[in-house]
Amino acid sequence: MMYLCAIFNERKTATMKKHPSFVLLLSLLSLGLLAQERFPHYRNPLDIPIQLSATFAEIRPNHVHAGLDIKTQGVEGKKVYAVADGYVSRIGVSPYGYGNVLYITHYDGYTSVYAHLQRFSGEIAKYVKQYQYRNKKFASQIYPEKDKFPIKKGDLIAYSGNSGGSGGPHLHFEIRHTASEKPVNPMFFGLKIDDNVKPLIQGVSVYPLGDSSTLERGGKPMYFATVGEKGRYKLKDRPVVYANGDISFGICTYDQVGVATNKDGAFLYELYLDDELAFQLKADSFSYSEPRYVNSLLDYRRYKQKKSSYVRTETDPNNKLRMIKKPNGIVRIGEGDTVKVCFKISDYAGNSSTAEFKLVGTEPVEVERPVRSRSEYFVKADGSLNSEIVIDDFSVSMEKNTLFRDEWIRTGQRDEKGCCSRIYRFGDEEMTTFKKFTIKLRPDEKWAGDSRLFVANIDKNGKVSSLGGKLRNGCVETTTYTMGEYTLKIDSVAPKVKASNFKDGQSVKGLKSLRFKISDDMTDIESYDIYLDDVWVLGQYDAKNDLLYYEFDEKMKAGTNNVKVIVTDGVGNKKILKMKVVY
């Protein structure tokens, strides 16, 4: 780098006059090297071989994966180490999401994040427990003073686990820009993983855009399986797709990192049309304000119908995902035209696969288009048309840019027994939004003013789920991303609470904890508290396993202890369980 700069300074004037393109190349090279040097190299957070079950920016419905999921050999309790010098800047405890999570701010402009932990180490664990007892709550977000927990590279900070929303033992590891909190691909920071496996391409999709475009003489998208080996794929049973008008594309693909067999996300998605780059998506960094843009990037309807994820090359007007480096991979094709279409998918190690086919233009064809009914509303994404819709005792209101694009949205209403209002429709569950929108329902007169009311969503299979809601000015109001059918229901049933590892009056000297199964069938658990002889003790909640437990500490006294558990659901129904144990 210094040598290049010396050459540049020595010969600057002559080179600029005689070879301006050389100067440009040299400057770009220097900038590229500098950009690489901005990323420090960190140690591994675990002292085991790194194998991944998920990659950075893996594309999932509703969010983009913000880090690496590192396998922990199928078990909890692996030692987790700080990747660089810094200090503990944040500690989180939650029954959901990241579960037990630790944030270390480093002195180089980055913050490392360690999530789904089983427990924190030493003094950090003591500090968290003291905070929880002082505030009488399990779920906590704690911001220690900068000098409270100084950290050196390689310090033991925690043990890996399966807490929060984790689906199995692993370490979720992130790196963020400290100032902006934007996640950055941790692979930039020197993690080493042997990987010579090319991404796999499962399918390609093709979409006619607008009312005048056609695909195989029809107006609907088409999905093609691919076949191939050694990273070279083609459409199964056909090399050519016939179309007319504006056409976009999609790709269904995944990567396997090294010896791990998990279906992970790729690093680079590229579409070439006649060998010219038309679309590019790169998993480098994004903002936490962006993850729901992924629902626009995906063929969301196809995902909801078939559970297959196609990344689309058309970029909706309100999709601002910064990982899209070159948007709108669209081609206009006319009769007699031929376009070579090539997807190139690459992983971080540089392994690449391609899928190629030809798009051939046909004559324009008139295709029967959907007839719109009076119950459908054309909603402008910019909020200028139908941003508020009122249907009798039901209303929807949307902020500007709630939708990714202008949409026709179907509405309707019907009656059904067991509901506290009519059932109203706004769109369907195969549609999606960027922002939450507000819905209000007025209950039937019989239920007016009942605080146990909640907004229920009914999916196409008839399953009912709670969207919450509060009674305001005679209506139950809530905000949601979920489109489909809504009604009002009453939750009159208190949560269930049952001791799972002991019985009333039993000696518990051989146990390490008191464990309870807690659940609610409709509006979910809102709060949970455990008392020993009317003194609050720390109840830890594992939501995915419906488990509430108290690990014995100095609060458990020798002799008989009166145990009381109070669990409340989302509308205030309360269940109290009282028992005695001997210690």
Q: Are residues 81 and 28 in the same domain?
A: no
Nearest CA to 93 out of 106, 84, 85, 102 is that of: 102
Rounded CA gap, 68 and 435, in Å? Answer: 26
Q: What is the pLDDT of residue 7?
A: 32
In a domain, 42, yes or no: no
Determine how β-strand 352-361 pairs with β-strand 240-254: parallel
Co-location of 486 and 502 in the same domain: no
Range of the domain at 520: 496-582
Token pair in block for residue 39: 């990323």
Q: Based on the fold, state whether residues 319 and 219 are members of the same structural domain.
A: yes
Q: Which of 468, 490, 512 is the last residue of a domain?
A: 490
How many Å apart are CA 542 and CA 546, to the nearest integer?
6
For residues 219 and 281, membership in a common domain is answered with yes
Mean pLDDT across the chain? 93
What local confidence, expressed as pLDDT, does residue 368 receive?
Answer: 86
**Residue burial 345-373, b: 16+ Cβ < 10 Å; e: rest:** bbbbbebbbbbbbebbbbeeeeeeeeeee
475 and 565, same structural domain?
A: no
Q: Taking Cα atoms as reference points, which of 82, 83, 94 lies closest to residue 122?
A: 82
Residue 151 lies in a domain: yes
Q: What is the mean pLDDT of residues 533-561?
A: 97
Instruction: Report which of 202, 221, 209, 207 is spatially closest to residue 249, judged by C-alpha positions.
Output: 207
Q: Which residue, 466, 435, 245, is CA-closest to 335?
A: 245
Report yes or no on 225 lying in a domain: yes
Structure tokens at 453: 């009311």
Nearest residue to 270 via CA among 327, 344, 209: 344
- Residue 14 pLDDT greater than 60, yes or no: no
Q: Return the DSSP state at 443.
A: P
- Is 485 in the same domain as 502? no
Categorize the per-residue pLDDT at 282 as very low, low, confident or very high, splitting at 50, 70 and 90: very high
183-231, pLDDT tens digit by residue? 999 999 999 899 999 999 999 999 999 999 999 999 999 999 999 999 9
Residue 22 pLDDT:
40
- How far does Cα 235 stand from its chain's mean position? 31
Residue 453 counted as domain residue: yes
Do 249 and 356 belong to one domain? Answer: yes
Strand partners, 226: 235
**Dihedral class, residue 160 (left if φ above 0, else alpha if ψ from -120 to 50, else beta):** beta
pTM: 0.91
Asked if pLDDT for residue 305 goes beyond 90, the answer is: yes
Residues 153, 162: contact at Cβ < 8 Å?
no
Within 10 angstroms of residue 532's Cβ, the number of other Cβ atoms is 20
Residue of 248, 227, 359 whose CA lies nearest to 299:
248
Same domain, 184 and 219: no
| pLDDT for 323 beyond 80 | yes
Domain for residue 485, yes or no?
A: yes
Which tens digits make up the pLDDT trace of 406-448?
999 999 999 999 999 999 999 999 999 999 999 999 999 999 9
Q: Number of folded domains in the chain?
A: 5
Question: Is 495 within 8 Å of 572 (Cβ atoms)?
Answer: no
- Clarify whether residues 542 and 430 are in a common domain: no
Terminal Cα-to-Cα distance of the chain (whole angstroms): 69
Whether residue 13 is predicted with pLDDT greater than 70 in this model: the reply is no
Which of 84, 75, 88, 86 is closest to 48 using CA atoms?
A: 75
Find the range with the poorest average confidence among 4-8, 72-76, 100-104: 4-8
- Identify the helix (H) or strand (E) that includes residue 536: strand 535-537
Do residues 21 and 147 share a domain? no
Mean pLDDT of 64-77: 97
On whether both 17 and 132 belong to a single domain, the answer is no
Does the pLDDT at position 259 exceed 50?
Answer: yes
CATH of the domain at 472: 2.60.220.30
